Every structure is written in C-alpha cells, then in structure tokens.
C-alpha cells in the first residue's frame, strides 16, 4: 500500500457519541477531528413549512430560534405552498447540493376553467372557460400526456434567475424574457378526487418541475384551462412530511426542550448514497487530511456496484468523514469533500 503523507492535524479531536437532545456528538479528546464536533450541531431538519411565508423566511426563523451560525434550505416552496422543507444546519449546508437533486412528491388542487397570469390563485384572472364542465374522463386522458419525460416551460413568475435578475421581477416590470424550456420527469401522476371545478392530484417528479406549470398545462390539454390553488410538498427524496417538524413547533420550544432530537445527522441525510466504511486509523487520518491511498481507492472501485456519483466515507461511529467521487477525472474535478 502506498505511503501516506503526514501532515499536521489542526483543531480539537474527539472520541464521540451522538447526543440526540443537544444535536451534537459528545466525547473526550481522542485521535481524529470530526464533523461530529461538540462545538455546534450539524445535520438536517425536515421542517413542515406553513402557508404565507417564503422558504427564506422559514429558514430565518429556524436559524434565529436555534441560534445557528449557518442554515439553508434545499428546494424553494412558494409562499402559498406548505410541506416538506429541508433545512441544512451548519456544516450540512455543504451537502445541500446532493439533497436538492432528489425527486419531490406533491399533492395539489387545480381550479379548472379559470386561468391566471401567475398560474396560481395569487394571480390575476386572464381567461375563463365558458363551455361545458370538463368531465373526469377528459381529465384522465389529459393526464396521460404528462407522465414520463416531458418538456416544460418555466413560468414567468418564477424565482429562477435570468442574467442575474429574478424572472418574476422582470415579469412584474413587463419586460419580455425568453427562457428555454426544460426537460423534467413525471414518475407518477394520479387523480385523487374530482368535483367540478376542483381536482385533487398527486405527483412524484424530478427536481426542477414546476407544479404550477404542470397544472396549467393539464388544464389546457383538458380544453378548459386551469390554475393551481393549493400545493403541499409531501416528500423530498426519502424525507416525508410525516417526519417533519412543524415550523410553529420549533418557534415554541421551551428552554428544556430540544428540536435537535428530530435532526438527522449528515450521514443519515445522505443515506441514499453508497457507503464505504473506513476503520483503519491511518487511512482515516489521511482521509481527514484530504488524501486517499491509490491502492485503497482502486480496491474500493472494484467493490462498488455504481459507476457514477459520490460515495459516503464513514468511520466506525457512523460519522460522515467525506464524500468521495471515485470516478472523477482531471484536476478540474474535485473528488473528495472532507467534513471536520
């Protein structure tokens, strides 16, 4: 096995056990540094966002109430939308890119026969259907066109940036903007309830799918038009609304209570990624310094069943050491993201 370069280890080092109440790993000084540091909690809170606030405002409330140094969310919800909002705390903000790309699931209500400029109930009515009510059979036929890989327009009133400006700000100024359509994947799309003019549906779709646009397009395909009047995110990746902490609950925690009991560790949050466990102390020490032994790397590549994407490197305490991209090539591609 290749020799491991010796470098000076910085900061405190710990032997640790996870304290669910405080949301941190507790222990005494030991051999290695770790993201599982007792100095501050790092992990992911699954929050149930209420209606009427932005995702940014929801994160600000969590950050303020818990006195956090750093926090961010994975996947914006419109102010009128509710449901799952993943809030990454402190070092977990460095894994948000992996959580954002996961599929999402929603339950939504369409108002058939009425179209708005924003494609949802907050906008101005621009068209109403004067014909016969759409039948459930017609709606079901329309849904067939929106399963699988579809091409979707980006709504004019969207938060995506165009040349540095938010698209919705340009739309409000009446400035003409062309945004290329994007391909998204609708894995599941089911009609749950229909009573003219409302229809309730559930969808599981890829990152970047605009449910407002989906509802409007379904209405057009059904021949009557529609807009979105309710939206609830049921899941983001494997994280479901049933395990979410209501934002109001976080805001009302007493001094003797702790929301960190509901926090996922960084390793748990990335549980969908393949795992490689490092138990050898010399290999572990080198990994914390950003170095992986080439022979060890080659052996692990042969064992892995996947051929792309990152892998979790964890220690024997199930603490996340790093994310490793085994197949990254070239100096321009970073292959190791260390947490300590």
Alpha carbon distance 53, 55 (integer Å): 7
Alpha carbon distance 147, 204 (integer Å): 10
Please give the helix or strand (H or E) that residue 24 lies within, else none: strand 24-29
User: What does residue 275 show for φ and ψ, rounded to 5 degrees?
Assistant: -120, 140
The answer to whether residue 255 is catalytic is no
Helix locations, 262-339, DSSP H: 266-269, 281-288, 294-303
Alpha carbon distance 49, 53 (integer Å): 8
Identified catalytic residue from 48, 78, 120, 293: 78
- Token pair of 59 as six digits: 């994160």
Alpha carbon distance 323, 302 (integer Å): 18
- Is residue 17 within 8 A of residue 318, CB to CB? The reply is no
CB atoms within 10 A of CB 24: 20
Q: Rounded to 10 degrees, what is the CA torsion of 86, 89, 92, 98?
A: 20
- Return the half-sphere exposure (C-beta side, CA atoms, 13 A cut-off) of residue 52: 3
Alpha carbon distance 90, 61 (integer Å): 15
Any idea which residues carry the catalytic annotation? Answer: 78
């Amino acid at each position: 096995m290749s020799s491991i370069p010796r470098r000076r280890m910085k900061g405190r080092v710990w032997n640790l056990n996870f304290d669910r109440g405080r949301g941190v790993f507790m222990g005494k000084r030991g051999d290695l540094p770790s993201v599982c540091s007792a100095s501050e909690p790092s992990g992911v809170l699954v929050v149930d966002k209420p209606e009427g606030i932005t995702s940014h405002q929801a994160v600000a409330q969590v950050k303020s109430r818990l006195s956090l140094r750093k926090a961010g969310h994975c996947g914006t919800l419109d102010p009128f939308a509710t449901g799952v909002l993943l809030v990454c705390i402190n070092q977990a903000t460095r894994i948000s890119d992996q959580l954002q790309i996961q599929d999402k699931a929603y339950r939504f209500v369409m108002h058939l026969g009425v179209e708005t400029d924003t494609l949802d109930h907050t906008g101005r009515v621009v068209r109403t259907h004067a014909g016969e009510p759409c039948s459930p059979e017609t709606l079901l036929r329309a849904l067939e066109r929106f399963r699988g890989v579809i091409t979707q327009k980006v709504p004019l009133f969207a938060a995506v940036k165009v040349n540095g400006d938010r698209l919705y700000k340009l739309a409000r100024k009446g400035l003409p903007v062309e945004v290329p359509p994007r391909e998204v994947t609708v894995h599941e799309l089911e009609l749950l309830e229909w009573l003219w003019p409302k229809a309730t549906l559930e969808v599981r779709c890829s990152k970047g799918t605009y449910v407002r646009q989906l509802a409007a397009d379904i209405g057009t395909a059904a021949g009557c038009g529609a807009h979105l009047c309710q939206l609830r995110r049921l899941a983001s990746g494997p994280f479901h609304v049933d395990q979410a902490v209501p934002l109001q609950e976080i805001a009302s925690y007493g001094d003797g209570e702790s929301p960190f009991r509901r926090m996922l560790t960084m390793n748990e949050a990335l549980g969908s990624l393949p795992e490689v466990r490092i138990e050898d102390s010399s290999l572990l020490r080198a990994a914390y310094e950003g170095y992986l032994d080439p022979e060890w790397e080659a052996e692990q590549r042969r064992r892995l069943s996947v051929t792309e994407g990152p892998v979790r490197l964890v220690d024997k305490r199930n603490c996340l050491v790093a994310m490793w991209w085994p197949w990254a090539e070239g100096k321009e591609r970073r292959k190791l993201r260390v947490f300590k």
